[in-house]
Amino acid sequence: MSYDSILKFLIDEYTKPILSWLLNREINEEIEMLPTELNIEPIRADGVFFLQVGNKIIHLEFQTRPKSDPPLPLRMLDYWVRLYRLHKLYEKNLQLEQVIIFLRRDTSPKVFEDNFQLGKTTHYYRVIRIWECDPTPLLSKPELLPLAVLAKSEKPEMLLSQVAEKVNAIENQRQKSNISACVELLAGINYSEELIKMYLHHDILKESVTYQRILSDGFEKGEMALVSRQLKKRFGEISETIKPRLNTLSVEQLELFGESLFDFNTFEDAIDWLNQVNK
């Protein structure tokens, strides 16, 4: 499962509590969400966020697995250079802090790497392995409960129980519904479905608009990726100009387009199909 939709919701809705935990201080400044698409051949990855807080730009990246192409250390250096150039940090009094948060417990040496080194070039960034984090600060705020469920615990089932109790204690129904949805979906990284259902009220989650939206977003991105792979396999390298056209399609239209691909003889047939839909 892709977790980027869940993480985007968390960052959009609960930016200040997450940054307060991350930076270990209360955030009183206004926060600006910066575009995640960087020029110069954009890098794409799940759960990447750029935020400006006062005189600091935060590059925050969530990872469920350490495997990456290009490798994470190189990617972090690449991002740093692009952000440095794009925001002209050489002209402004702005700091740039990069943080990777690994969500899934892993023993790979890659989750312990916090720098890029090649010859005389060395670049450091911060790495957080969420399963090593003290759950106490994360349990103290409702907005952080989705991360708390992945925190350090000698008895994971007890931690899940604690998070469930905190969720049940939320008085605001909308907030309770939203946080329940995120807790359940992120808990799937560490816990079985049976255990999650035992502690979390699944009936509340089914009624959650957030829950349905996150699932829908994840499904749509999966369908988009599948169609893009099919196009490439059928006609080789595909033009970048077709991707914005695909982004306008609904899930149902993407499914229909994927089925119709087998009837196309040329790439122009695919363009004609899209022209008909977009009339």
- Indicate the pLDDT class of residue 237, thresholds 50, 70 and 90: low
Mean pLDDT of 33-57: 74
Report phi then psi at 184, rounded to 5: -65, -45
Least confident of 3-12, 157-166, 179-188, 195-204: 195-204
- Does 70 lie in the same domain as 126? yes
pLDDT at 146 over 90: yes
> Are 161 and 46 in the same domain?
no
Q: pLDDT for 185-225, tens place per residue? A: 899 998 988 888 888 865 555 555 555 555 555 545 655 66
pTM of the model as a whole:
0.74
Residue predicted with more confidence, 238 or 92: 92
- pLDDT above 70 covers a percentage of the chain that reads 81
**Could you tell me if 123 and 169 lie in one domain?**
no
Within-domain flag for 113? yes
Considering the domain boundaries, does residue 219 fall inside one?
no
Residue for token pair 């060395």: 122
Q: Using the predicted structure, report yes or no on whether residue 113 has a pLDDT greater than 90.
A: yes
> Is the pLDDT score of 8 beyond 90?
no
Domain range spanning residue 176? 135-207
Is residue 170 a part of any domain in this protein? yes
Residue 191 lies in a domain: yes
C-alpha 52: how far from chain center: 18
Residue 55 lies in a domain: yes
Domain boundary residue among 116, 132, 148?
A: 132
Total domains in the chain come to 3
Could you tell me the two tokens for 147? Answer: 């991360």
* Residues 6+ away with beta carbon under 8 Å from 63: 46, 47, 72, 100, 101, 102, 103
Please check whether residue 181 lies inside any domain of the structure: yes
Average pLDDT, the chain: 83
Mean pLDDT of 83-102: 91
Same domain, 156 and 61: no
Measured in residues, the chain has a length of: 279
Same domain, 38 and 120: yes
pLDDT of amino acid 105: 93
| Residue 9 and residue 125 share a domain | yes
pLDDT single digits (tens) 117-132: 999 999 999 999 999 9
Please report which confidence band the pLDDT of residue 42 belongs to, taking 50, 70 and 90 as the band edges: very low
Residue 62 bridge partners (DSSP): 101
Q: Which of 71-80, 106-115, 243-252, 264-273 has the lowest mean pLDDT?
A: 243-252
Predicted local confidence at residue 108, as pLDDT: 94
Which of residues 99, 132, 165 is at a domain's end? 132
Q: In Å, how far are 53, 78, 209, 221, 238 from 39, measured between CA atoms?
A: 22, 12, 34, 22, 20
Specify whether 151 is located in the same domain as 192. yes
| Percent of residues, the chain, with pLDDT higher than 90 | 46
pLDDT (0 to 100) of residue 216: 57
On whether the CB atoms of residues 15 and 32 are closer than 8 A, the answer is no
Interatomic CA distance for residues 18 and 24, integer angstroms? 10
Q: Is residue 221 part of a domain?
A: no
- Per residue, the 3-state secondary structure of the chain, as one string, reads CCCHHHHHHHHHHCHHHHHHHHHCCCCCCCEEEECCCCCCCCCCCCCEEEEEECCEEEEEEEECCCCCCCCHHHHHHHHHHHHHHHCCCCCCCCEEEEEEEECCCCCCHHHHCCEEEECCEEEECEEEEHHHCCHHHHHCCHHHHHHHCCCCCCCHHHHHHHHHHHHHCCCCHHHHHHHHHHHHHHHCCCCCHHHHHHHCCHHHHHHCHHHHHHHHHHHHHHHHHHHHHHHHHHHCCCCCCHHHHHHCCCHHHHHHHHHHHHHCCCHHHHHHHHHHHCC
Same domain, 81 and 92: yes
Last residue of a domain, one of 132, 150, 177: 132
31 or 227, greater pLDDT: 31
19 and 66 inside one domain = yes
**Residue 217 maps to a domain:** no
Identify the residue with better confidence: 228 or 166.
166
47 and 110 share one domain: yes
Q: Quickly state the pLDDT bin for 40 (edges 50, 70, 90).
A: very low
Mean pLDDT of 142-157: 95
The verdict on 109 and 183 lying in the same domain is no
Average the pLDDT over 51-76 and give the result. Answer: 91
What is the rounded distance in angstroms from the CA atom of residue 165 to the CA atom of residue 186?
17
Q: Cα–Cα distance between 80 and 265 in angstroms, integer?
A: 44
Q: What separation in angstroms does the CA of 123 have from each of 72, 111, 117?
A: 12, 16, 7
43 and 147 in a single domain? The answer is no
Q: Report pLDDT for 90.
A: 85
